[in-house]
A and B are shown apart, each in its own frame.
Chain A
Amino acid sequence: MAFRALTKGLFGLRHSRGVTVKYSCDGHFATAASIQSPQPQTDDVKEKILQLPLKSPDYFRVSELFSLKDLFNARVHLGHKQGCRHRLMEPYLYGCRLDQDIIDLDQTMEHLQLALNFTAHIAYRGGVILFVSRRRQFCHLVETTAKECGEYAHTRYWQGGLLTNANIQYSPGVRLPDLIVFLSTLNNVFQQHVALRDAAKMNIPTVGVVDSNCNPSLVTYPIPGNDDTPVAVELYCRLFKMTINRAKDKRRQMELLHGLFTPTPSSS
């Protein structure tokens, strides 16, 4: 079963994807395909598909998607004023120019590469990704981004037990997201978003854009960067959308290559 976002009506339930995965697991192929794969062989092939991308450091070539110049032009290096600075963000800051914190873009490059790579692998493995942002300015953008990459978004008020009490608030056996991406880790009153702590509680890894006034300690893959400027947020959304689509296309390609999709008459 798929995890349903609170934005009613915008995104439907994704039964089909879950069902496909289940089918390939059981090896119940209806038509007599050219590959009469017995179950162990299918599992082996599936193992190979899953393990192969982990061998190379940048299998999905996410580092090609952005450059330091792009980050600079999108004003990702601009942080908040000195007084708003969070103690734990100090290692990620390059310096302070006339009281405004400047984020170190070299570090941001590395963190962004790690985060996008992780996201790509999760998307490749058919994981459910949830985009969270409580900034009203970018709520529509985040929702459209999620729609365009076939994932989920939650940009409205976060009810207390959405993750921790999912079995009662939704229904028993709900599938929780496998990754939560925060376009802004703060909520409307400049406190840390509840979803961050809840994701840590439910053992869900998080990827988040942390500005100079955010707490990066609980974020699994933090991306130090500006989360207020529209140009920067559009850049992040574009990057996430491109990585997820790339990863999913790659997965489809691999499955076709190894003949796990019966309907197409492609040989292994």
Chain B
Amino acid sequence: MAGSRLERVGTVFSRVRDLMCSGVMKPADKPIWFDVYEAFPPKKEPLYVKTKTRTFVNKQSNVPAIFYAEDKVRAWFYEHYGTGSRSFDLSNSNFVSVCQRFVLKYSELKSHSELEDSALYEMTAKALLSEGITLKQRARHPVSLIKAHVHTHTHTHTPDQLTCTHEEKQNFQGTHGK
């Protein structure tokens, strides 16, 4: 039976169509999928695309970074309170973490009052405290920066040194979504 093994020239459909047009492939040999492809073609033609061996040094990516307005609040929360008192329960799809409750309470208070950010944060913390969630203040920047310095030089990870820095925490939280 006639065929064309040039996968880099045109698409599967174009090759078979041209083989039939030219008479090399008889109508009786028409593949099953031909009519179906003709009736329902794909959104993009499956042409072979040559991969560029030499890429630009500064690749401009067209994929936008996803950030929400609440991320600012989340960043403040993690900076000041660390991971939060409760761990994430990933098995429950309706789970609301401590950080998320903080964000929800913050947006609620923001819609009601006209205070500025820092005061609003304090208010939110107090509101959550009244609801029964205790937020433990973690060590602030100067101390943790020194700790980070120590970490980068000594690559040992003993259990009591696991109170990691803000950046590492951010990255750790980022992988929780899977």
Chain A contacts to B: CB under 8 angstroms: 50-51, 54, 57, 73, 75, 78, 82, 85, 87-88, 90, 93-102, 110-111, 114, 117-118, 121-122, 125-127, 164, 178-179, 197, 200-206, 215, 217-222, 229
Contact = CB atoms under 8 A, between A and B. Distances in A.
Interface of B: 3-7, 11-13, 15-16, 31-33, 35-37, 39-40, 42-44, 46-49, 51-52, 55, 61-66, 93, 170-171, 174-175, 177-178
A202 to B, nearest CB: 7
A220 B31 contact: no
A62 to B, nearest CB: 11
Nearest to B25: A203
Contacts, number: 115
A135 B113 CA distance: 54
Contacts of B63: 85, 90, 93, 95-96, 101
Contacts of A117: 40
Given A94-B66, A111-B43, 12 more contacts: A54-B39, A57-B40, A87-B52, A97-B65, A97-B177, A100-B174, A118-B36, A125-B32, A126-B32, A197-B7, A202-B3, A220-B37
Nearest to B175: A100
Interface of B is mostly: loop
Contacts of A95: 63-66
Contacts of A200: 7, 12, 46, 48
Contact of A125 (B36, B51, B62, B170): B36
Nearest to A120: B36
A122 B7 contact: no
B8 to A, nearest CB: 9
Given A78-B178, A100-B177, A205-B12, A219 B3 contact: no
A211 B145 CA distance: 38
Given A95-B66, A164-B5, A221 B42 contact: yes
Q: Which of B49, B63, B174 has the largest number of chain A CB atoms within 10 A?
A: B63
A203 B66 contact: no
16 contacts: A73-B93, A75-B178, A98-B170, A100-B174, A100-B175, A114-B43, A118-B40, A121-B40, A122-B36, A125-B36, A126-B32, A200-B46, A201-B5, A217-B49, A220-B37, A221-B42
